[in-house]
Structure 1
Amino acid sequence: MPNVMLRHNAAGQLVFYVTKRDHEETVTALEHAGPGAWGGEMQLADGSRFYLEPFAQPPKLPLTVRVKRL
C-alpha cells in the first residue's frame, strides 16, 4: 500500500506521484469522479491500476493518500 500524492498538472489532468519510486503518471480513469463520491479504482497512463478508498466529496488537491495496487 504505497503513499501517493494526487494533484492537478498545468493542463488540469489528475496526476499520481509515488515519492519512494520518484514515479509520476497521469490518471486516465477514475471510477467515482462525481459530487456524491470521489475515488475508487484508478487507471494510470502506463496501464497500472490502483484503488483509493472513495471520499464522500471531491477533496482539495494536492493530497497525500494510501492506495492499494490492483
Structure 2
Amino acid sequence: MPSVMLRHNDKGELLFYVAKKDLEEVISSVETDTSDTWGGTVELSDGSKYYVDPISPRPDFPVTLRFKRG
C-alpha cells in the first residue's frame, strides 16, 4: 500500500504522486467525488487503477493517503 500525495496542478487537475516509484499522473476518474465523500477506485491517465476507502468528509488537498493497487 503506497503512500500517495494528492494535489492540484496549475491547470486544476488532481495529481497522484508516489515518491518511491517516482510516479506522477493526472487522476482521470474517481468512483465517488462529492462534497461529502471522496474515494473508492481511482483511475489514472495511464490507465492504472488504485483504491482508497471512501473518506467523509471530502479531504482538503494537498493530502497524503494510503492506496491499494486496484
Shorter-chain TM-score: what band?
over 0.9
1:63 matches 2:59: no
Matches within 5 A, 1:34-49: 34-49=34-49
The aligned residue for residue 31 of structure 1 is 31
Structure 1 stretches of at least 4 aligned residues deviating more than 4 Å after TM superposition: none
Unaligned runs of 5+ residues in structure 1 are none
The aligned residue for residue 54 of structure 1 is 54
Structure with the higher fraction of residues in helix conformation: 2
- Please say which of residues 55-64 and 8-17 is displaced more in the overlay: 55-64
Deviations 1:6-53 (A, max 9, x none): 001111011000000111000000001002311110000000000011
Q: CA RMSD in A?
A: 0.7
Identity %: 47
Match of 1:61, SS state, is coil
Unaligned runs of 5+ residues in structure 2 are none
The aligned residue for residue 22 of structure 1 is 22
Distance in structure 2 (CA, Å) of the matches to 1:63 and 1:36: 16
